Structure 1
Amino acid sequence: MARSRWVKDKSIEEMPPKGHVKPAPKAPKRKRGTYGSVTISSRTIPEHSLPLSLSSSSFDRILRILRNDGGDSEGNDRRPPPTANERNGLKEAERADADGASRPSREQYPYGADHDEDEELFYADQLVDHFDGSTDTWDNRYYASSRYYGGPGHPIFMVVGGEGSLEKMLYPFVNEHLAFHFGAAVVQIEHRFYGPYQPLPNATVEELTELLTPQQAMADMVRLTKHFKDELGCGGYDRTSPEYCPVVS
């Protein structure tokens, strides 16, 4: 019996030749949603899409999606309406914020609203070597902002410097939008050997093998964070304390 030949007429059932493999169907395109200047997919937020000027409404929608706290993909709030107590609490918080009561004064915290966050600061008690028992120190450059810091009990965002010199705050998205939303202070540390201020001048290869390590850089961050917490009035390291300041890096 002769095999049926392939034809272009879709009304006739086609019979493929022996050994033919039908190609797999193409995967459907991934759905994407665009909010303002930020594009969100189910995989990631591209680095180049992080906004420098994002409207508050778009930002709130993004936070709902990332936190999964009741917002759908269109930014609509699907949570039940607030109770009377919740509404009263929101009104009190709004009044306190309008009066400035929820924000620290310049006298209360060292990095107030009048502090230029692009002004370089120095931590003079940074150890040259955290692991050899010596007490030699150097000036570690960093930048800080407490413009939106809500006081003890609020978070600290630690921005880690990369392989290059830091001349100012790098991420307005962090120290403007995120810091405002979470009432956080922001500190940005320069890496010990990728800027003009280093633990040793003209360090030898042997010295670099001991000092230019991930462990030393991490210890720099820990030591600066402790200093920063003390300056912000954070209450110790008991995570159950209402004055505990979690550090997010």
Structure 2
Amino acid sequence: MEQRFEGRTVVVTGASSGIGVGIARRFAAEGANVVLAARRKDHLDVLAAELGADRTLAVATDVTSQDAMQEMTQAAVDRFGTLDVLVSNAGMGLGRVFEEMTLRDWRLVMNTNLDSCFFGAQAALPHLKQSRGSIVQIASASGLGGDRMLTAYNAAKGAVVNLTRGLAFDLGPFGVRVNTVAPSLTLDEEDAGRPDAAGLIERFDQRRALTGFSTPADIAAAVTFLASPDARFITGTVLPVDGGITAGSGQPNLF
């Protein structure tokens, strides 16, 4: 595999499962030093052992805490001497009927999906200015349209999308690029093997141009492209990796 990130340092939040694991693996395969950040240190340690301890740092991190994100970022720079890419991947959904949603529910979704991006960007920025690096945020197809019972998630991911655009202008003068990847249904091998997976995929297939589902490796390919020199003149963009679900009008099949 091409070594586009040889000698560069990449932070991946939400790196303990799913898309975060796929992103970390892809950056490591392309030569990067990878900093794994998430709450579940035991999961991070397993991944770090797989990727190689000499080029990997696992840091137990509460992404909803500004202090924790600052500490994690400093640990990354202390270990590897630089920070070139921040991937703000940490996130969560919460299905609720709107009138039953509590303030605690709302704040949990906003803190995890949106505040974590703000905290990460502020912590990383001094170092990204020096390296003229980039930020890639993980939004969602749910940030580009509405869903039933996902009001808070729609609002948070929609804010991530526009945070990307605003940051692109604020950070562009420093040579720092900011982009977003917007996945839809993404399943790893374990998820795809669940008994209910086939029915879920079929429901999505009714709304998408392509059948099937994306994998963490598919999302990682888009992320590494946007973070790489191949995308040197791309900033402020939102790249859906969703099988075409956001290309549709939302209407049912009429013929």
* TM score, norm. by length of structure 1: 0.23
User: Which structure has the higher relative contact order (CA within 8 Å, separation 6+)?
Assistant: 2
Q: Which has the larger share of helix?
A: 2
Higher alpha-carbon Rg? 1
